[in-house]
Structure 1
Amino acid sequence: MNETRRPPAPHPAERARTIAARGGRAALLPSDGSESRVTPLLHHVHPRGDATLLLRDEHPLVGALRAAEVTAMLEVADHAPVPLREPVRGLLWLTGWLRALDGREAREAALEVADERPDPRLLDVGHGVSVVRLVPASLVVADAESTTSLRPELFAQAEPDPFAAHEDHWLRHLELSHRDVVGLLSQHLPEHLRGGHVRPLGLDRFGLRLRVEMADEDHDVRIAFSRPVGTSQELAVELRRLMGCPFLAQRR
């Protein structure tokens, strides 16, 4: 029996690196039985897989970490760049050991983050704000492609998608100024999805993703490029090609 061929997609480690690079919204869940979600003032997942977070000095978790390391999970949510009724398009979970950094170590950590992601909140380190570090034992990425567990070294070896920094702007522009293009793409959707509200959901080097909002549920559809692309010029060529002959695969 022939199976429907799935279109190519980024490797799970690449998708995890892309979610981390975008930043997203973060929640820290210490494994102390409290089931409380802690929202850090700032979070940054480094390319090697560990995460630096800022918390106010008076937060109870900071006091606990002064006494001992704790295990915790950091959840990073990747939100779609356009308003959707189900806005989260991917999640990254990092589970490992959390500890507080003091003095010079905290300042060095803040400077390291500033080199990768300048942010004025880093100036508050040592002035009412503490630095904590999560060293992961495992990572899990979950999106419409799959839910996959990753080793930290595999995460560190991957690279973010080349369009990660520009994707949100491009998709918002497509949504607001080029609904005609979205309409052309929707002509190639499976027949039972053509009555839904079609929205641009994602873009990566392997293709374009659309969200189809139906009355009963949502469907994510990947339209594959003929080959992976790495530049805006190659992307433009593939998008023009997709106007005439897309290759689709439906996911629920």
Structure 2
Amino acid sequence: MSEDRRPPAPHPAERARTIATRGGRAALLPSNGTEARITPAFHHVHPTGEATMLLPDDHPLVRTGATTGMLEVADHAPVTLREPVRGLLWITGWLRVLDPQEARQACLEVAEQRPDPRLLDVGHGMSALRLEPASIVVADAEGTTSLQPDLFATAEPDPFCTHEDHWLRHLELSHRDVVGLLSQHLPEHLRGGHVRPLGLDRLGLRLRVEATDEDHDVRIAFSRPVATAQELSVELRRLMGCPFLAQRR
């Protein structure tokens, strides 16, 4: 499919905010060579693109102090796939250890958006670090795009991002017939593969086709952007070929 005929997709900044909001699995890669990859005990990406992370007090990076580094956040599919990562977010910038007062304030800010008992460990064996972004990159099936932090900050995450995983798991486990109906929108040469629900956003549905040669991600567009569960239901029923049922709902 040519670039100008590709189904519409959310803006890269919106996709980046969505990955950040979901949380995902994180790895910290400092540039000072202390370790190859570090798994924070907790991480949170703020709407500004800044990230707060927790590491044990005795971690070498805490003792090192300020440095530069990159936080990688992986967006995993909610169903079991042979290639489970459907998107990556990389935030590169300046990393520093927060002093006790800054750490307490940072934990309060995070708790307002994402309460987590691990935040209570700061000052009791855990230290808080802050990554201030210089550049942000998002990579997924739509492409790889570099973003300025101010563009990331003005975008909004997808309205369905906190419910998407539950809905797609339910679709995979309990409604394979629905997946079959949605498969009619796939290109003909992909219809023989194993079709899995991969993603859902305000502009459409994404399916993963696990073929014998390789995996293929296909976006199926809605007829219009949706913002509520009711609007989403109408569009899904239309894709299934049930417009009358959609109108009655």
Q: TM-score range by the shorter chain?
A: over 0.9
In structure 1, the residue matched to 2:48 is 48
CA distance in 2, matches of 1:149, 1:3: 19
Distance (Å, rounded) in 1 between the aligned partners of 2:3 and 2:85: 29
Counterpart check, 1:131 vs 2:103: no
In structure 1, the partner of 2:74 is 77
- Which of 157, 171, 176 in structure 2 is aligned with 1:160? 157
Report the Cα offset of residue 206 of structure 1. 0.2
- In the TM superposition, residue 4 of structure 1 has moved relative to its aligned partner by 5.6
Q: Does 1:187 align with 2:184?
A: yes
Normalised to the residue count of structure 2, the TM-score between the two structures is 0.94
Select the residue among 215, 237, 250 that pairs with 2:234.
237
Bigger mean CA deviation after superposition, 161-170 or 190-199: 190-199
Distance 2:49 2:70 in 1: 13
Q: Which residue identity is paired with 1:146?
A: G
- Structure 1 residues not aligned, in runs of 5+: 246-252
Q: Which amino acid aligns with 2:60?
A: P
Paired letter, 2:139: A
**Alpha-carbon offset, residue 3 of structure 1:** 6.5
The change in CA–CA distance for 1:175 and 1:87 in structure 2 (over 3 A counts) is same
The alpha carbon displacement at 1:187 in A equals 2.5
Instruction: For 1:201 and 1:220, locate their aligned partners in 2 and report how far apart those are by CA, in whole Å.
Output: 8
* 1:13 aligned onto 2:10: no
Letter in structure 2 aligned against 1:206: L
What secondary structure does 2:226 align onto?
A: coil
Q: Separation in 1 of the partners of 2:202 and 2:143?
A: 17
Unaligned 5+ residue runs, structure 2? 243-249
Bigger Cα displacement from structure 2, 26-35 vs 216-225: 26-35
Residue aligned with 2:185, SS: coil
Residue 160 of structure 1 deviates from its aligned partner by 0.2
How many angstroms does 1:35 deviate by?
Answer: 5.5
2:173 pairs with 1:176: yes
Counterpart of 2:170, as a letter, is: H
Task: Determine which of 137, 148, 151 is the counterpart of 1:151.
Answer: 148
SS in 1 for 2:186: coil
- CA, structure 1 residues 103+8, in 2 after alignment: closer, same or farther (shift >3 Å)? same
| 1:187 counterpart SS class | helix
Following TM superposition, the consecutive aligned residue runs of length 4 or more in structure 1 with deviations greater than 4 angstroms are none
Identity %: 81
Shift of 1:102: 1.2
CA RMSD of aligned residues (A): 1.2
Q: Which residue of 1 aligns with 2:205?
A: 208
Partner letter of residue 30 of structure 2?
P
> Deviations along 1:65-123, whole A, 9 cap, x unmatched?
1xxx2010000000000000000000000000000001111011011111110000011
Alpha-carbon distance, 1:33 to partner: 3.2
1:138-192 deviations in whole A, cap 9, x for unaligned? 0000000010000000000000000001000000000000000001111332222
**Matching of residues 52-63 of structure 1 within 5 Å:** 52-63=52-63
Corresponding position of 2:246: none
CA distance in 2, matches of 1:227, 1:213: 28
Residues 34, 61 of structure 2: 8 Å contact kept: no
Give the alignment partner of residue 102 of structure 1, picking from 95, 99, 117: 99
Q: How many residues align?
A: 241
**Aligned counterparts of 2:96 and 2:33: Cα–Cα separation in 1:** 17
Give the distance between the partners of 1:214 and 1:6, measured in 2 at CA: 21
Q: Letter of the aligned partner of 1:211 in structure 2?
A: R
**What is the TM-score with the length of structure 1 in the denominator?**
0.93
Question: What one-letter code is carried by the residue in structure 2 that aligns with 1:13?
Answer: A
